[in-house]
A = this chain, B = another copy of it.
Amino acid sequence: MKKELTEIQKKILDYLIDQKVSKGIPPTLAEIAKHFGYKNRATVQQHLQAIEKKGYIKKNPKLSRAIEVTVEEKFFIPRPILGEVAAGNPLTIYPDAIDTVELPTIVRMPKDSFLLRVKGDSLKDAYIFSGDIVIVNPNLEPKNGQIVVAILDDAAVVKRFYKKKNEIELVSENPEYKPIVIEKKYPSFKIVGIVIGVYRSMNKKAV
């Protein structure tokens, strides 16, 4: 079991991931320092050392921007918000309806987007199938009816998004799955991004 990160360390790790996803390239120490308001890079340097010591990143010494996030699920594990999980009681959700998504090597896409491989057939009526790769843009506000990627507890789901008065509904197009309803304040919930495209390789068979 890996050691727990401190709050600040988590935030920095978060930033590392964010930058890689949105800019496609890890930040330099200076950039991190600027973002967090540190007056020098040494502070960042020490945080990074601490994070590396705990096994969450790996640094290639001397090389610029060579910060590798080594915890793949990292993208989906507690972010600062999620870290404060579950003061209240978790909602009754339907675990079977939750699709898990593998985050492949983060690829920089034209519009800061990244890729996810879809597993499960809950969106098959939206023409998205198991094995398909969805291109996700994290910088857009979801509109009703759009297909979004969301984090819910420890799982990521790809579903159609509907915002209602006091709750958010994540709907599968496949009638076999029931909608997931989330109260707005539910802590471990986060919209990761909007699916802007789907890609499927014809070489690999859908799983």
Q: Which residues of A approach B to under 8 Å, CB–CB? A: 20-22, 24-26, 28, 64-66, 72, 102, 104-110, 113, 115, 127, 129, 133, 135, 146-147, 194-203, 206
- DSSP class of A's interface residues: helix, strand, loop or mixed? loop
* Copies held by the complex: 2
Contact sample, A vs B, 30 pairs, CB 8 Å cutoff: A20-B25, A20-B107, A20-B108, A21-B107, A22-B105, A24-B25, A24-B26, A24-B107, A25-B66, A64-B65, A72-B110, A104-B109, A104-B113, A104-B199, A106-B109, A107-B199, A127-B127, A127-B129, A147-B202, A194-B202, A195-B202, A196-B201, A196-B202, A197-B199, A197-B200, A197-B201, A197-B202, A197-B203, A198-B198, A198-B199
**Which residues of B lie under 8 Å from residue A146 when comparing CB positions?**
202
Q: B104, A65: Cβ atoms under 8 Å?
A: no
